[in-house]
Amino acid sequence: MHLKLHHAQVNKASKITISGSKSESNRLLLLQALYPKIKITNLSNSDDSQVMQNALSGQANVIDIHHAGTAMRFLTAYFATQPQKEVVLTGSERMKERPIKILVDALKSLGAHITYLENEGCPPLKILGKELVKDKVTLNANVSSQYISALLLVAPKLKNGLELTLKGEITSVPYIKMTLSLLEQIGVKTTFKDNIITISPKPSLDNEIDIVVESDWSSASYFYSILALSPVGTKITLASYNANSLQGDSVLATIYEQFGVQTQFKSHTITLEKTAEVMFKKGIELNLVNCPDIAQTIAVTCFGLGVSCELTGLHTLRIKETDRLQALKNELEKLGGELTITNESLTLQPSKEMRPNTAIETYNDHRMAMAFAPLALKTALVIKDAAVVTKSYKAFWDDLKQLGFKVSQ
Ligand SMILES: O=C(O)C1=C[C@@H](OP(=O)(O)O)[C@@H](O)[C@H](O)C1
Ligand SMILES: C=C(OP(=O)(O)O)C(=O)O
């Protein structure tokens, strides 16, 4: 399904309710499988959380997690530690290219039985679950924090807990802290000092515990971009958000101040308002090593505003749903943008034109579709394979229509 987005503007003062964070949801689903006394409120309705839920509740021996990176990594650790269970974990063609060796090696060094069924270092995996008794492991931390979170989530169920030593520059740190924080919420003792994390064993929970998932901040990023590209006075209210978020992408509230967008927190909602038209004296410079999922949003905002940007800390973007650096370059250039990319950065020149009716390829990447959609506030464009958004944000197109976007097939 390709969608045509007509040149449009946002209705004044709209309110949108966004589904729960997929990162928090997928951690809590795994923890709930280990500790059934956990109850979850505002669970994400994303495809990635649905595949996670199905994998944990079903009896299938072959589990296909499609494009869901967190599900792939978290379930690898989960099934490796479930005695007497044998499963094959597989995914989409892209998932079969996304590396998992660092996690598999770490689990094997703890005693796990995992074999590669196609290419060494990537899914699909055959996992023969067993009780792991070793309690110390060292792994590289500069490729994906998901490997670390996967080990941390199963750690309190290991007989002796776990001590993890992280090598290299640690990437996506807020996601590791989110995992530790959720563990703390269910009463697990954790420490994170320098490059060492420790998790104490916790065989079971004494009481039921209800955890409310905050709505997804990465999904909120598209509304920040919409506001940045809208006239002064435009407002959007989003629910349900807290000033104290576990999600690193909540840094959006600070980042988008540079684009004239202010955020007000009030009783579990945020109201975003474009309060000023910014005269950019210099380009935007940001290191996004802590919040890689909002890189596409920010690059497209800058293109839409005609401001240059230099985004760094992007080394993980090449191994996500697609090579996001190359995808951004291809599609921004089609629109008339000028940019250079390296293995960890993107530099965009101030745009001089925006070619109307450009058809944006989405490369099976939800964030390509959603990051480019706000440009409809500037010109008409086509988003190809627009249904990709369901990976993280099922209602995305309906919510844009509610805002006043004109969308047709
Ligand atoms: O743990 C998580 O929930 C995630 C961690 C990040 O991945 P990396 O650590 O691979 O950057 C992020 O990009 C992904 O969308 C979700
Ligand atoms: C990178 C992402 O997800 P995952 O790695 O879990 O597939 C994302 O949602 O942007």
Mean pLDDT for 386-397 is: 98
Measure the CA–CA gap between 16 and 236, rounded to whole angstroms: 8
Q: What is the CATH number of domain 3-19+214-408?
A: 3.65.10.10
Does residue 327 have a pLDDT over 90? yes
pLDDT, the chain, mean? 97
Two domains, one topology: 3-19+214-408 and 22-212:
yes
At a CB cut-off of 8 Å and minimum separation 6, what does 102 contact? 139, 140, 143, 144, 147
Instruction: Give residue 232's pLDDT.
Output: 96
Pocket test for ligand 1, best of 30, 147, 293, 366 (most atoms within 8 A of CB): 293
% of the chain exceeding 70 in pLDDT? 100
pLDDT band at 360; cut points 50, 70, 90: very high
- Point out the ligand 1 atom lying closest to the alpha carbon of residue 22: 3
Residue nearest to atom 6 of ligand 2 (CA): 69
Ligand nearest to C-alpha 367: 2
CATH code linked to domain 22-212: 3.65.10.10
Is 293 annotated as catalytic? Answer: yes
Give the number of the atom of ligand 2 that is nearest the alpha carbon of residue 68.
7
ipTM over 0.85: yes
The minimum-distance atom of ligand 1 relative to the CA of 143 is: 10
What's the pLDDT band for 280 if we cut at 50, 70, 90? Answer: very high
Q: What is the mean pLDDT of residues 1-18?
A: 90
Confidence of residue 396 (pLDDT cuts 50, 70, 90): very high
The pLDDT of residue 58 is 87
Residues 228-255: pLDDT tens digits?
Answer: 999 999 999 999 999 999 999 999 999 9
pLDDT value of residue 11: 87
Say how far apart CA 241 and CA 39 lie, in whole Å: 19
The predicted structure's pLDDT at residue 7: 87
Q: Look at residue 287 and give its three-state secondary structure.
A: strand
Q: Ligand 1 in contact with 392 (CB < 6 A)?
A: no
Residues 390-409 have a mean pLDDT of 96
pLDDT at 354: 97
- Sorted by where each begins, the domain ranges of the chain are 3-19+214-408, 22-212
**pLDDT score for 399:** 97
Under a CB-based contact definition with an 8 Å cutoff, are residues 214 and 240 in contact? Answer: yes
Does the Cβ of 69 fall within 6 Å of ligand 2? yes
Q: Looking at ligand 1, which residue's alpha carbon is closest to its atom 8?
A: 144
Global pTM value:
0.98
Query: What's the 179 CA to ligand 2 centre distance in angstroms?
Result: 16
Distance set, CA 56 to CA 34, 93, 107, 292, 399 (Å): 10, 22, 19, 27, 30
- Give me the pLDDT at residue 309, please: 98
- What's the pLDDT tens digit per position in 12-62? 778 999 999 999 999 999 999 999 999 999 999 999 999 999 999 988 999
Containing H/E element for 382?
Answer: strand 381-383
Q: Which residue spans within 186-307 are E strands per DSSP?
A: 190-193, 196-199, 209-212, 235-239, 261-266, 269-274, 284-287
Does residue 247's CB lie within 6 angstroms of at least one atom of ligand 1?
Answer: no
- pLDDT (average), residues 324-329: 98
Output the CA torsion 251→311→356→365 (10° steps). Answer: -70
**Of these residues, 293, 323, 365, 399, which one is catalytic?**
293
Report the residue among 316, 318, 320, 392 best suited for mutation to probe ligand 2: largest number of ligand atoms under 8 A from its CB. Answer: 320
